[in-house]
């Protein structure tokens, strides 16, 4: 059929073979209008047919084999320059164009045979390069050569592929001086979705590592789901199966304006390499159902502005290998003399024997009570007892002279 007012001839054709390579442009097409007597399967092959030709010069007959085909070879006409060539199936109908009975044919898909489709690969791309002719040496009419000049590295593209690799891809390029490229992959074969960037600045030394977000539906048979967020510096948040893993090479700040509730049904282990500072502006309540063990390698300081109550229902053991000092600055005594003790200091230097041990008391009156085996220190009295009284001295609070304990006893 000829288009009215033009030299274009238009036919309806049928593809004789499917797409065999990515972005394939040329196909062999059967055109019923050009070969109306065809019968049987559609194939692109040539058939050699012997014919007899009479040579008018000699008057004799000559036998020759000629190649006969029922198809024409056509190139993709293309209506969308930003879209790749469609993936075609054998038997699909196409529109065939021919200009003025020339030897060149072109085809356009008719989108009428979706039931014949199997797997496809299609890409939408946007060029990102200053030179429009990507292959300067290509023959001007060689559209395929110029089209092939568009690659992953000089286009921004979006691609859906179920034919060569089950994947959906989207990416940018760096062919116009961009310092970064960005990628987005949905990969059903890997059961993953990945977003990442790429530092492509040629002047950067070293180049920055990628920032990555990755979702894995089933990384292994034993891991049900994993989501990983990792930046270029290695800070990582990983949700893996029932676990949460946080890796922070630098500092970590958590700012919560409301309440925080932490419920740990298992164990809690915290290791702090340097210092630990905790500030509580109001009350602090700690309940320990079992045992409590605290190991301090250095000093331990406790400052209580108000009262402190300590209740021990069973035994209490305190062990020191050097000096034990306890000072109470204001104290009321319930003794018979109703004395007021301003300062009481017990200082015991641990030695092999009790010879070097001293007790220092500072109070309004020189009274010392050493009566029992146990050491008891409450709000109203202070009592100490030694099993060996030899060479134990008590300093006189007025003269500061040592007084042998034997004289008092």
For residue range 278-332, what is the model confidence (pLDDT) as tens digits?
A: 888 888 888 888 888 887 777 887 788 888 888 888 887 777 777 666 665 544 4
The token duo for 207 is 């180049």
CA separation (Å) from 199 to 172, 174, 239, 336? Answer: 12, 10, 26, 86
Please give the pLDDT value at position 325. Answer: 67
C-alpha 374/C-alpha 201 separation (Å) is: 78
The reported pLDDT for the residue numbered 5 is: 62
For residues 173 and 122, give the distance between their C-alpha atoms in angstroms, rounded to a whole number. 19
pLDDT of residue 1: 64
Q: Is residue 382's pLDDT more than 50?
A: no
Residues 174-183 have a mean pLDDT of 92
| Mean of per-residue pLDDT scores for the chain | 78
Is residue 167 within 8 A of residue 184, CB to CB? The reply is no
Q: Which two tokens stand for residue 220?
A: 């292994």
pLDDT for 344: 43
68 DSSP β-pair partners:
47
Higher pLDDT, 218 or 325: 218
Please report which confidence band the pLDDT of residue 340 belongs to, taking 50, 70 and 90 as the band edges: very low
Answer whether 11's CB lies under 8 Å from 98's CB.
Answer: yes
- For residue 29, what are the contacts with CB-CB under 8 A and spacing of at least 6? 13, 14, 15, 16, 71, 72, 73, 74, 94, 96, 105, 107
The CA distance from 199 to 214, in Å, is 18
Asked if pLDDT for residue 195 goes beyond 80, the answer is yes
Average pLDDT rounded to a whole number, residues 373-402: 50
* pLDDT bracket for residue 358 (50, 70, 90): very low
Looking at the chain, the whole-number percentage of residues with pLDDT higher than 90 is 38
Query: Do 79 and 108 form a contact (C-beta atoms < 8 A)?
Result: yes
**142: confidence class by pLDDT, cuts 50, 70, 90:** low
Q: Label residue 363 by pLDDT band (50, 70, 90).
A: very low
pLDDT of residue 394: 57
Mean pLDDT of 39-48: 70
Q: Is the pLDDT of residue 76 over 90?
A: yes
The pLDDT, as a whole number, for residue 134 is 54
| Of 245 and 341, more confident | 245
Per-residue pLDDT averaged across 177-200, rounded?
95
Q: pLDDT at position 335, please?
A: 47
Find the mean pLDDT for residues 351-356: 35
Of residues 396 and 208, more confidence is placed in: 208
pLDDT of 404 reads: 62
Mean pLDDT of 340-360: 41
At 52 the pLDDT is 81
Confidence of residue 115 (pLDDT cuts 50, 70, 90): very high
Q: Give the pLDDT mean for 109-128.
A: 92
Query: pLDDT by residue (tens digit) across 383-397?
Result: 444 445 555 555 555
Beta-carbon contacts of residue 146 (< 8 Å; ≥ 6 apart): 133, 134, 135, 138
> What pLDDT, on the 0 to 100 scale, is given for residue 292?
81
């Amino acid at each position: 059929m000829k288009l009215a007012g033009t030299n274009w001839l238009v036919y309806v054709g049928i593809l004789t073979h499917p797409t065999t390579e990515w972005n394939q442009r040329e196909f062999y097409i059967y055109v019923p209008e050009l070969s109306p007597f065809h019968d049987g399967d559609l194939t692109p092959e040539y058939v050699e047919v012997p014919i007899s030709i009479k040579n008018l010069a000699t008057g004799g007959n000559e036998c020759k084999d000629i190649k006969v085909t029922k198809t024409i070879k056509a190139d993709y006409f293309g209506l969308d320059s930003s879209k790749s060539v469609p993936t075609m199936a054998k038997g699909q109908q196409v529109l065939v164009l021919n200009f003025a009975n020339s030897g060149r044919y072109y085809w356009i898909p008719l989108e009428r045979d979706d039931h014949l489709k199997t797997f496809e690969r299609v890409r939408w791309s946007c060029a990102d390069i200053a030179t429009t002719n990507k292959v300067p040496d290509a023959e001007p009419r060689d559209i395929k050569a110029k089209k092939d000049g568009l690659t992953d590295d000089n286009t921004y593209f979006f691609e859906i592929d179920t034919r060569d690799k089950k994947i959906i891809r989207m990416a940018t390029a760096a062919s116009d001086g961009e310092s970064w490229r960005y990628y987005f992959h949905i990969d059903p074969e890997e059961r993953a979705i990945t977003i990442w960037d790429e530092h492509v600045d040629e002047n950067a030394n070293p180049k920055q590592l990628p920032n990555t977000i990755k979702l894995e539906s089933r990384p292994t048979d034993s891991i049900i789901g994993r989501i990983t967020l990792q930046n270029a510096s290695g800070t990582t948040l990983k949700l893996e199966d029932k676990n949460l893993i946080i890796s922070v090479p630098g500092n970590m700040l958590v700012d919560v304006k409301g309440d925080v509730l932490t419920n740990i049904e298992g164990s809690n282990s915290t290791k702090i390499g340097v210092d630990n500072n905790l500030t509580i502006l109001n009350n602090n309540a700690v309940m320990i159902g079992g045992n409590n063990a605290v190991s301090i390698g250095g000093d331990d300081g406790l400052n209580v502005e108000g009262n402190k109550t300590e209740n021990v229902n069973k035994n209490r053991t305190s062990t020191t290998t050097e000096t034990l000092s306890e000072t109470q600055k204001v104290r009321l005594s319930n003794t018979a003399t109703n004395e007021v003790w301003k300062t009481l200091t017990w200082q015991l230097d641990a030695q092999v024997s009790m010879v070097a041990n001293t007790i220092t008391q500072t109070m309004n009156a020189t009274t010392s009570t050493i009566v029992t085996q146990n050491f008891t220190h409450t709000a109203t009295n202070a009592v100490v007892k030694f099993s060996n009284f030899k060479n134990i001295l008590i300093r006189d609070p007025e003269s500061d002279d040592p007084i042998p304990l034997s004289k008092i006893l």
